[in-house]
Amino acid sequence: MKIVLQNLTKRYPNRNKKIKEDVIAVNNFNFEIPDGQLIGLLGPSGCGKSTTLNMICGLEKPTSGKIFFGDDDVTDLPPENRGVGMVFQSYALYPHLTVLQNIMFPMENLKGKDKMTKEAMRARAEEAARMVQIDQLLERKPSELSGGQQQRVAIARALVKVPRVLLLDEPLSNLDARLRLQTREEIRRIQRETGVTTVFVTHDQEEAMSISDLIVVMEAGVVQQIAKPQLVYEDPINIFVAKFLGTPPINVFEGEVKNGIVYIGGDAIIKAEPDSSWKEGAPDAAPGAALKDGPVTIGIRPEGFDPEKDGELQCGLTAVEVMGRDTSIVATNAHAANGSIRTIVNTEELAEVSGETVNFRIKPSRIYLFDHETGARVRCRFTPLR
């Protein structure tokens, strides 16, 4: 079931009486979610991702715009008639009911032609429990389950309705790191087995990148970029997207371009030339800024630094942290956004680094330029100085 969002907008009255303008939670959202895919809605708290999800499921009514499930306009359809399965951040299980009873509960409210016998409800509930691998826990109460098991019960409860669309609102936030990893793998497996169109809301970029077919990055109610996870990481449309994705985060510098050379302070680090073909991953409305001489914001991914004695960028050495396969070099630079940078280098390829300074050569594939004022990506390609 494809989902089409047309000019979807949600406004709320401003509670600050001194400000007359409404608060815009979602601003003119246009997107077609392909049938059978898992879409990650990604962004910081307050960006409008949960509001978008609530409008899709019918808990919130759009101020303007349309929502279609396939060819059906569901904008004004009540939530119970949309065929949506919803999994919330809190598990919302009934503590006095067993796992089986919790899973069966949505089916007990079906009426008319959809009404089911107890035998049919039990069979479907047991099938959903097997799918999420909790079929051995059907007689337990929620208090006897771990957090991951409770979340699986919530997912099974959403699946027994055989939903046209599955919506997940930060379902892993209450789990510890290991359980988050296991549960997100289960969500991906279940989604592939069922083929149900799924929208997954999260503020965790690692979660979104690991299981999504497409990522929608939002900020302040506005869609910033829609693309495959790796493309969003490798070709961010603006400085916000570049900073939001990546662990450790991208290193940001204030620099300038002079005669096709990119400078950080007095260090000439790389050549840049216009690239009129660059637009992949970018919305048509924001194809990027043109390369020109003047101040720029420079972003370099942690893996974009090669420590070399004659490297173009000189930094102060703070620490060398060996993390098994990788080594992190922490350094300082007066032109870095917060004064320090963090790089990731393959431990096996790293020569000894010591002393008070360290020099880096910058990899052309891991450096980005952004307009100093707007933050838009500058269309250019890079080549080493030598």
Q: Per residue in 23-49, is it b (16+ CB within 10 Å) or e — as a string?
A: ebbbbebebebeeebbbbbbbeeebbb
pLDDT > 60? residue 279 = no
263 within 8 A of 256, measured Cβ to Cβ: yes
Structural domain tally of the chain? 2
Range of the domain at 300: 241-383
Q: What is the pLDDT of residue 250?
A: 95
Residues 113 and 142 in one domain: yes
Query: Residue 287: its pLDDT value, please?
Result: 58
Q: Three-state DSSP class for 252?
A: strand
- The pLDDT value recorded for residue 67 is 96
Amino acid at 126: E
pLDDT in tens, 349-379: 777 777 889 999 999 999 999 999 999 999 8
Q: Taking the model in full, what pTM does it have?
A: 0.85
Q: Are residues 116 and 7 in the same domain?
A: yes
> How far is residue 214 from each of residues 106, 128, 184, measured CA to CA in Å?
30, 26, 16
Residue 252 sits in the same domain as residue 377:
yes
Residue 107 CA: distances (Å) to CA of 79, 133, 137 = 15, 20, 19
pLDDT tens-digit series, residues 28-42: 999 999 999 999 999
Report the pLDDT value the prediction gives residue 383, as an integer from 0 to 100.
Answer: 93
Examine the domain organization and report whether 109 and 40 are in the same domain. Answer: yes
Beta-carbon contacts of 189 under 8 Å, excluding residues fewer than 6 positions away, are none
pLDDT for the residue 278: 57
The verdict on 249 and 371 lying in the same domain is: yes
DSSP 248: S
245 and 228: one domain? Answer: no
Q: Number of H helices and number of E strands within the chain?
A: 8, 21
Residues 247 and 224 in one domain: no
Domain boundary among 198, 232, 266: 232
Q: Which residues are bridge partners to 296 per DSSP?
A: 255, 371
Residue ranges in 224-336 assigned as alpha helix (H): 229-234, 239-244
Q: Are residues 156 and 61 in the same domain?
A: yes
pLDDT digits (tens, 9 = 90+) for 160-173: 888 889 999 988 87
Report how far residue 72's alpha carbon sits from residue 104's, in angstroms, rounded to the nearest whole number: 28
Is residue 289 domain-shared with residue 142, that is, in the same domain? no
Same domain, 27 and 55: yes
CATH of the domain at 209: 3.40.50.300
